Amino acid sequence: MRRSPRNILRHELIGLRARVAESRNPCQVGIEGVIVDETMKTIVIETPRGRKRVFKEEVKLVLWLPDGTRLLVDGRELRGRPEDRLKKRVRGW
């Protein structure tokens, strides 16, 4: 099962290119780079200006999947430790 829009909420985010599209913190909008780490509540993006940590709760992200598709994800959908996102959460969206 490759990373696709269908399973991205349960798949690996590390290694994907991402851009902060919206944020409660206006300074964070536009942060762009490769996701290098993920915790329960945050995502770390590697940018030319260093590693930036953003709260999942506060942002909407544009993700570039390896197959070239681009999608907008609400960070709130990504809550949970990376290894916990693996499971369940069918919830229609």
Site residues (vs other proteins, CB under 8 A): 1-3, 7, 10-12, 14-15, 36-37, 82-84, 86-88, 90
Residue 54 bridge partners (DSSP):
43
Closest separation in Å from C-beta 26 to other proteins:
29
Closest separation in Å from C-beta 24 to other proteins:
27
For 30, half-sphere exposure in the C-beta direction (CA atoms, 13 angstrom radius) is 4
CA angle 40, 13, 61 (to 5 degrees): 85
**Residue with Cβ nearer other proteins (1 or 27):** 1
